[in-house]
C-alpha cells in the first residue's frame, strides 16, 4: 500500500482476502445533522425576515449559516438545533426549502487538518459539494465544519476511520 493510500483512505474496509471487512459491510453511520436550504428572492431585507423568524421562535437556535447569492435568488443554508420546529416554522412562513442530513467534523490537531481531511475524502473518491463553518458559543477543541459529500454516509465512515471527531445534532447544543 502506498503512503497516499494509507493517508487518503485507500483500502478502506478491505479484509485480508481483499473483500470488505464485516464491520464495514454491516455499516456504521457517523453522526449527522439536519441542514435546511431556504430559497429566497434576492431582495433587500429577505435574509433579515428569515433571521427574525428564528429570533422570535423560543425553541430554535441556529448553529450554522451560509448564504449563496445569485442575481435573482439566494439560498440560505442553515443548521438549527431543532429540525422539527424549523420545518414547522418554515411551512408557517410559506418559505420554499429543502432538507438533507450532512456531516459535521471537528478539526482538532496537526493530524486532523482541513487539507488532510480533503485528502482522505479524495482517496475515497468522494467529491465535496460544499462546506462552511459552524458557529459556537461553547469552547471546542478545534474548528468545526459542516460538510456535504457525494455520499455523506460513506464520507462520515471514512473520516471516522481516519480518527476525525464527527458531531451529531446533540453535540452542537
Tell me the pLDDT tens digit for each residue of 1-54: 444 444 444 444 444 444 444 344 446 778 999 999 999 998 899 999 999 999
Q: How confident is the model at residue 172 (pLDDT cuts 50, 70, 90)?
A: confident
Cell output for 121 = 475524502
List CB contacts of 123: < 8 A, sequence separation 6 or more: 4, 5, 7, 8, 9, 10, 12, 158
* Confidence check: pLDDT of 118 > 70: yes
Round the average pLDDT of the chain to a whole number and report it: 85
The grid coordinates of residue 1 equal 500500500
Report the pLDDT value the prediction gives residue 137, as an integer from 0 to 100: 65
Domains in the chain and their CATH numbers?
Answer: 33-100 (3.30.2130.10), 103-173 (3.30.70.260)
Under the banding of pLDDT at 50, 70 and 90, the label for residue 90 is: very high
Backbone angles phi, psi at 141, to 5 degrees: -70, -35
0.75 exceeded by the pTM? Answer: yes
62: pLDDT strictly greater than 90 = yes
Tell me, letter by letter, the H, E, C secondary structure of 88-101.
Answer: HHHHHCCCEEEEEE
67 pLDDT above the threshold of 90: yes
pLDDT tens readout for residues 124-158: 999 999 999 998 766 667 899 999 999 999 999 99
In this prediction, residue 87 carries a pLDDT of 97
Amino acid at each position: 500500500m502506498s503512503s497516499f493510500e494509507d493517508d487518503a483512505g485507500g483500502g478502506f474496509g478491505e479484509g485480508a482476502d481483499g473483500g470488505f471487512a464485516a464491520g464495514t459491510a454491516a455499516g456504521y453511520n457517523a453522526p449527522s445533522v439536519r441542514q435546511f436550504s431556504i430559497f429566497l428572492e434576492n431582495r433587500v431585507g429577505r435574509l433579515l425576515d428569515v433571521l427574525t423568524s428564528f429570533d422570535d421562535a423560543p425553541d430554535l437556535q441556529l448553529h450554522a449559516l451560509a448564504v449563496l447569492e445569485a442575481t435573482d435568488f439566494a439560498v440560505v443554508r442553515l443548521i438549527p438545533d431543532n429540525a422539527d420546529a424549523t420545518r414547522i416554522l418554515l411551512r408557517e412562513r410559506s418559505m420554499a426549502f429543502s432538507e438533507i442530513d450532512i456531516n459535521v467534523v471537528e478539526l482538532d490537531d496537526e493530524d486532523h487538518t482541513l487539507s488532510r481531511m480533503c485528502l482522505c475524502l479524495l482517496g475515497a473518491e468522494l467529491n465535496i459539494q460544499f462546506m462552511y463553518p459552524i458557529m459556537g458559543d461553547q469552547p471546542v477543541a478545534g474548528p468545526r465544519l459542516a460538510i456535504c459529500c457525494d455520499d455523506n454516509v460513506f464520507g462520515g465512515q471514512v473520516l471516522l476511520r481516519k480518527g476525525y471527531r464527527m458531531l451529531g445534532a446533540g453535540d452542537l447544543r
